[in-house]
Amino acid sequence: MDIELKEGERLDDLQCGGLKIIQNPRLFSFGIDAVLLANFARIKPGDIVADLGTGSGVIPLLLSCKTAASKIYGLEIQHEMADMAQRSVRLNDLESRVDIIEGDIRKAGDIIGMSLVDAVISNPPYRKAGSGHVSPSDARAIATYELECTLDDVIKAASTLLKNKGRFYMIQRPARLVDAICGMRKAGIEPKRLRMVQPFADKKPTMFLIESIKGAQPHMDIMPPLVIYDAKGIYTEEIYRIYGMEVPDSGG
């Protein structure tokens, strides 16, 4: 299907099943965090999935390629971002599996359905409002700072959407780890699996991936760290595999 691009938009190859995504760098373009989160989530065949704060729709698109989820919802409050995501879905003929909805995360239960979803995914704003320089672009500011919703709002929405024993997956900055764990436990979603993400093996983590389960008993596994680079500009083998890229030959 042909989709007309608007001013400032570009069409990028997701390198997954021939999927394409519409992006506008003026607003917000996805990064490695979205790719890592989509790979970290354990989605079962037939699952109903919701991505909270879907942005350009990259996570629903990747999950449509990588998993056998029966339905994937993407909820996004910003009109321009939701419109781009909806057009990307149509471009890839995924309307039967992926539904992008323009709406407020805080009303997710009313919009999608309470206790309906098997897995919730979110790459929420990393910074609290007022905690640093705010981008002059509204879209970038909303994606980066807690202007339209807080971390607790995202966690509460996930709990509302999830079935009992449903799974919640999130990526965040290490500075928010305690906030995330406390918020999840308060919302009845028990943290079960944690993986730190490091730029290099000898550097401290810059992100963490976490899986929690609604109604589960306390017990959390700490996974080995995920290291992004072996050297400057050279991914580790695991990152090449996550991206579906061939690992370069290191032989002489």
Residue 249 lies in a domain: no
- Residue 177 domain flag: yes
Check if the beta carbon of residue 75 is closer than 8 Å to that of residue 124: no
Residue-wise pLDDT for 118-133, tens only, equals 999 999 875 554 444 5
CATH number at residue 137: 3.40.50.150
Convert the pLDDT of each residue in 20-64 to its tens digit. 999 999 888 899 999 999 999 999 999 999 999 999 999 999 999
Instruction: Please indicate, yes or no, if residue 152 is contained in any of the structural domains.
Output: yes
Beta pairing partners, 23: 10
| CA-to-CA dists, residue 141 to 7, 124, 126, 149, angstroms | 21, 12, 11, 12
Residue 129 has a pLDDT of: 47
Report whether pLDDT(142) > 60.
Answer: no
User: What's the domain count of the chain?
Assistant: 1
When the pLDDT of each residue in the chain is averaged and rounded to a whole number, the result is 90
More confident of the two residues 140 and 239: 239
- Taking each helix axis from N to C terminus, what angle separates 32-40 and 58-66, rounded to the nearest 10 degrees? 40
E strands within the chain?
10-13, 20-23, 48-52, 71-76, 98-102, 117-122, 162-172, 189-198, 207-214, 221-222, 226-227, 229-231, 234-235
60 within some domain: yes
pTM: 0.90
Amino acid letter, residue 73: Y
CA pair distance 130, 144, nearest whole angstrom: 11
End-to-end Cα separation, the chain, in angstroms? 45
The residue segments making up the domain with residue 49 are: 10-242
Is residue 247 in a domain? no
Residue 167 in domain? yes
